[in-house]
């Protein structure tokens, strides 16, 4: 029994690092926009890597990975939806193993009927792309 507990405790840090924290979620949905508009530096300890950019009839989506530089793990996916007319909107797709609080924030982001088209465009953009390793 002690060995099982020891093995579990050894792997716990590796499992929890894969989760998206509420701080990371808020950075993707709010902080990054402020960073770009104010010309600030990238959040310390992270880097962004562009995965894909697509243009649709009604706008475009850009998908970035928010990567922790300490261990090169993916913290979250950032989806930027830019309609042809209007401001860009920033969505965070957290790791599925994230705390319930973070998953709730994600689910509440796209809940209104008017967001259905955005959800459809984002889903089309993400087909087969999300990898967490």
Length of the chain, in residues: 133
* pLDDT at 6 (0 to 100): 33
pLDDT in tens, 78-116: 989 888 988 888 988 888 888 999 988 887 776 654 555
Q: What is the CA radius of gyration of the chain?
A: 16
CB count within 10 Å of CB 115 equals: 15
What is the residue-averaged pLDDT of the chain? 78
Instruction: Go through 68-94 and write b for each residue having 16 or more CB atoms within 10 A of its CB, e for each that does not.
Output: beeeebbbbbbbbbeeeeeeebbbbbb
């Amino acid at each position: 029994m002690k060995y099982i507990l020891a093995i579990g405790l050894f792997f716990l840090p590796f499992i929890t690092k894969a989760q998206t924290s509420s701080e990371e979620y808020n950075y993707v949905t709010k902080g990054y926009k402020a960073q770009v508009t104010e010309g600030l530096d990238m959040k310390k300890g992270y880097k962004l890597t562009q995965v894909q950019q697509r243009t649709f009839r009604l706008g475009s989506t850009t998908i970035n990975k928010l990567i922790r530089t300490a261990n090169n793990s993916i913290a979250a996916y950032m989806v930027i939806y830019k309609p042809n007319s209007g401001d860009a909107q920033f969505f965070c797709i957290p790791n599925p193993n994230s705390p319930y609080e973070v998953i709730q924030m994600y689910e509440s982001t796209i809940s209104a009927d008017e967001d259905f088209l955005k959800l459809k465009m984002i889903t089309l953009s993400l087909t087969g792309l999300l990898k967490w390793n």
